[in-house]
Amino acid sequence: MPRSKVKTLVLLSLATLSAAVFAQTTTVSARPGTLNYVEGQASIEGRQLDPGSANNTTLQTGQILVTTNGKTEILLTPGVFLRLGDNSAAQMISSNLTHTEVRLDHGIANVEVDQIYKQNTILIDLPSGQTQLLKHGLYTFDVGNSTVRVFDGEADVFPGKDLQAAVKPIAVKGGHQLVLTGDGGTPQHFDKDKAEDDLYKWSSLRSQYLGTANLNLASTYAGASGFYPGWYWAGGPYGYTWLPGNGLFWSPYGYGFYSPYYIYGGGPIYGYGRGFYGYRGGYGYRGGYGYRAGGYAGGYHGAVGGFRGGGGGRR
C-alpha cells in the first residue's frame, strides 16, 4: 500500500480514538504530587488507596505514600513521572514547580523525565544522599542498596546524610550507577539489560499507555483554540498524560509525546506499529517500526533522541 494511504488510514483511526477519549476528558488541573495510577496495596498517611484515588488525590508536603504489595505513579513537573515499587515509601518534601523534592525512605523508585527546564530543580533524596536530575532520561533509586542508577540522562549526586552540607556533587551519566558510601564512591558502568527489573517493566508499560493517550489527545486538540501545555486527564487506565507545548519528545522507553501544534502543523507520526511510535530517522524499539523518507525501517533496541533540557540549582 502506498505510504500516503497508510498515513491517511492511521490518522483516520487516531481521529476515531481521539473522539472517544475526548468525550471523557476533563480539564481538572494537576500539580506535583498528584496521584496518577494505583495498582495493588498503597496508602497515604494510613488512608488506603484504590484505582479510583487517581485524579482526586495529591501527596501534600510532609505526607508519606507507602506501598506494600503494590505500585503507584505520581506526577511531578509536566513531563516527569515518579513510580514507586513494591514495599516502598516516599515523602513529599516540596511540591513547587521550580523546586520539586521527594524523599525515598525505603524501597525502590524510578523517575521518567521527558522534559526538564533550566528553571526546574528536581531532587530525589535518599537516607545516604541527594540526587538532582539534570536531563531527560530514566533514573532509578534503591534505598536498600544505597544506589542511584542512570539508564539515560545525567544527574548530580550529593553524598551524605546532611543535605545542607556543602558537598561537591558527583556527576553520574547514562549507563552508570553510584553506590553511596561514606565518601561518595565512584560511578560504575552497569548492564542496562540485566538491570531491567519488575518496576522497570511496569514503568515501561505505563509509559506506553501514556504515549497512546497523548497521541489521542494531541490529535483531538490539534487546531483547537484554548490549548495550553501540561497535564491532561485521559481517564480509564491512562490517568493524566502530558501534552508538550511544541514539538515531539520521546520517553526513555521509546514512546512519543506529541504537541497538538506539531500534529496540526503537519508533523509526521512516526512508526505507529506494535503499540509503539518509532524513532525519528528510521529506528524503532524492540520490534517497532520507524518512519523515514523512502519507507519503513526495522526495529532497533537503542537510545531515543528528540529531547531538549537543562539543569537547575541545588537547594
Residues 216 and 246 in one domain: yes
CA dist 51 and 192 (Å) reads 31
Judgement on whether residues 184 and 289 belong to the same structural domain of the protein:
no
Q: What angle do CA 179, 180, 182 make, to 5 degrees?
A: 135
Q: Are 240 and 234 in contact (CB under 8 A)?
A: yes
For the entire predicted model, the pTM comes to 0.79
Residue 272 cell numbers, joined: 505507529
If asked whether residues 138 and 257 sit together in one domain, one would say no
pLDDT of residue 21: 43
What is the C-alpha separation between 245 and 13, in angstroms, rounded? 24
Domain of 162: which CATH number?
2.60.120.1440
* Positions of the chain with pLDDT under 70: 1-29, 165-166, 182-184, 270-315
- Structure confidence at residue 281 (pLDDT): 32
Residue 255 lies in domain: 3-28+198-297
Give the CA distances from residue 231 to residues 80, 227, 245, 271, 306, in Å, rounded to whole numbers and listed in that order.
10, 11, 11, 24, 20
**Domain count of the fold of the chain:** 2
Length of the chain: 315
Q: What are the C-alpha distances in Å from 111 to residues 25, 53, 199, 226?
A: 25, 21, 11, 30
- Does any domain span residue 307? no
